[in-house]
Amino acid sequence: EQDMAHELARQRRIVLICGHYEGIDARVQAILGGEELSVGDYVLTGGELPAMIVVDAVSRLRPGVIDEASIDE
């Protein structure tokens, strides 16, 4: 949701790990203490497309990425 995009945009850095394998994904989350994000209630073959959605939603909120008037509209 947009609130999460704003929260992530305020961070200095974020790391997106694109999941593929349930067991490995669970260990990475446990070891790194990461937060799991969802972009919808459907199944995809990997995490690359959701990662691109997050990058697009977050980057447009960073200063200088796009014209401020575009954000307001």
Contact between 29 and 36 under an 8 Å Cβ cutoff? The reply is yes
Instruction: Specify the pLDDT at position 40.
Output: 92
Contact between 46 and 19 under an 8 Å Cβ cutoff? The reply is yes
**pLDDT tens digit sequence for 7-39:** 999 999 999 988 777 767 778 888 888 888 889
pTM confidence score: 0.80
Contact between 64 and 15 under an 8 Å Cβ cutoff? The reply is no
